[in-house]
Amino acid sequence: MATAGTDLSFYDKSVLPEAKDFRIGIVVSEWNNDITGNLFQGAFDALTDCGVLKENIVKWDVPGSFELIYGCKKIQESYDMLDAVIAIGNVIQGETKHFDFVCHGVTQGITDLNVKSDIPTIFCVLTDNTKQQSIDRSGGKHGNKGAEAAIAAIKMAQLRKEAKF
C-alpha cells in the first residue's frame, strides 16, 4: 500500500515558497461530508500554517465528486485572481460500476482543467475501497491528504508565478 508508514500531513515549511499573497480556491464535495470536511480542514489548516491569509481562501461546496469539475471551472472563472484551486472529494467502492465511472470522470475532468486553464487544479479526491481507508487518509492514521493537497497548491502557485516571466 502506497501510504503504509506515510504521514500525508507532513511538510517542511522551510522549503516552501512565501505563500502570504497566494489566493487559493477550494471546491468541496458534500458527498461523504464527514470525510471531505476533514480533508477541507486539513487543507485550510496547512494553507494558513504556511502563511496564506484566511481571507485569501475561497471555499465552494458542490453536491458530489463528479460536480467538482464544474465547480473548479466556475470558481476559476469567478475569481480571476486565484493562484491555485484544490478539488476535494471522496468516492468509496460500492457494489456497482458507478465507482469506476465517477473516478474516471473526475480524474479526466481535473486533467482537462489543468491542460486548458492557466490556474493549477490540485486533485484531492480519495478513491478508496472502504470507508476506513478514507478515514485513515482524512485525519486518521495516515494523516490528512488535504494538507498534502494544500502544499501541492502552494508549490504549483509558485510555479505558475515563476512561469509567467
Phi-psi region of 12 (alpha: psi -120 to 50; beta: other; left: phi over 0): beta
**Cα–Cα dist 140/128, whole Å:** 14
| Catalytic residue chosen out of the listed positions 98, 104, 141, 161 | 98
Told to judge if 142 belongs to the known catalytic residues of this protein, a careful annotator would answer no
* Distance, C-alpha 22 to centroid of its chain: 15
**Which triple of cell numbers denotes residue 39?**
480533508
Residues 109/115/118/124 CA torsion (nearest 10 deg) = 40
- Residues tagged active-site: 98
